[in-house]
Amino acid sequence: MDVADFRKRGADMNDSKVQIVTAAEARRALTKGDIRDEVAFQNDINTLLARLEETKVPLQALSRPQPTTRRR
């Protein structure tokens, strides 16, 4: 789904139907409160975060260091 598709579907932060919830509430809603499903869900999130951390691209400078001038 492209970002433009959200606008077509009507998803907008100014929409009065949008409800902001905590991560815990979202997890409970997605797992229907079952503790085993919540643990599995959290494990999936932790695995995803670990994978993202492993694949970090090293930062690269966009330009060379610039010489500084001395202040008096």
Q: What is the pTM of this model?
A: 0.45
On whether residue 31 sits in a domain, the answer given is yes
Q: What is the pLDDT of residues 9-21, one digit of tens each?
A: 555 666 677 778 8
- Residue pair 28/38 in contact (Cβ under 8 Å)? The answer is yes
Cα separation, 31 vs 38, whole angstroms: 6
Q: Could you tell me the pLDDT band of residue 1, with boundaries at 50, 70 and 90?
A: very low
On whether residue 27 sits in a domain, the answer given is yes
Per the structure, how many domains does the chain have?
A: 1
Dihedral sign from CA coordinates of 60, 49, 26, 22:
negative
On whether residue 12 sits in a domain, the answer given is no
On whether residue 3 sits in a domain, the answer given is no
- Residue pair 12/18 in contact (Cβ under 8 Å)? The answer is yes
On whether residue 43 sits in a domain, the answer given is yes
- Residue pair 18/10 in contact (Cβ under 8 Å)? The answer is no
Domain limits for position 28: 23-47
On whether residue 35 sits in a domain, the answer given is yes
Which two structure tokens, joined as six digits, stand for 37? Answer: 């499903």
